[in-house]
Structure 1
Amino acid sequence: MFTEKFTLDREYFRECFDESLPLSDRAKPKYSLLVFLIVLAVLSWVVVNNQYLASFLALMAVLEVIAFIYRKPWWVARQMISRAAGSLVVLHIDDEGIKAVNPYKQYQFLWHEIIQAQQTDKGIVLKTKRGMQYISQAAISKQAFDFILEKTKI
Structure 2
Amino acid sequence: MTTPFHYSTTYILDKSHFIETYDASATSATSATPIKAYTIAMALGLAGLMLLMFTETDPFVAWFIVALGGLEAFSVRYKKAWWLGRQLISKAANTELKLTVDEEGISSESIHVKNTLLWTDINEVEATDSGWLLHHKGGKNYLSARTLSKEAEAFVVVKAEKVNLQGA
What TM-score do you get using the length of structure 2 for normalisation?
0.73
- Contact 1:4–1:141, Cα closer than 8 Å, also in 2: no
2:10 aligned with 1:5: yes
Q: CA offsets, 1:120-150, max 9 Å, x none?
A: 1111111222222111111111221221122
* Structure 1 contact 127–133 (Cα < 8 Å) conserved: yes
Q: Is the contact between residue 24 and residue 130 of structure 2 (CA under 8 Å) also seen in structure 1?
A: yes
Q: Please list every run of 5 or more consecutive structure 1 residues that lacks an aligned counterpart in the other structure.
A: none
Q: CA RMSD in A?
A: 2.8
Number of the residue aligned with 1:18: 23
1:76 aligns with 2:87: no
Distance 2:29 2:11 in 1: 24
1:134 aligns with 2:131: no
Higher relative contact order (CA 8 A, sep 6+): 1
Q: What is the aligned partner in structure 2 of residue 96 from structure 1?
A: 104
1:117 corresponding residue in structure 2? 125
Which whole-Å deviations, capped at 9, do the CAs of 1:33-61 have from their partners, x for residues lacking one?
234335535645675598x5765554433
**Equivalenced residues, count:** 153
Report how far residue 19 of structure 1 moved.
1.0
Aligned counterpart, 1:61: 69
Q: Tell me, what secondary structure is at the counterpart of 1:22?
A: coil
Q: Percent identity?
A: 28
Structure 2 unaligned runs (5+)?
none
> Once the two structures are superposed, what CA deviation does each residue of 1:2-49 show, in whole Å capped at 9, x if it has no partner?
223222111001111111111895x33534323433553564567559
In structure 2, the CA distance between the partners of 1:22 and 1:37, relative to structure 1 (3 Å rule), is: same
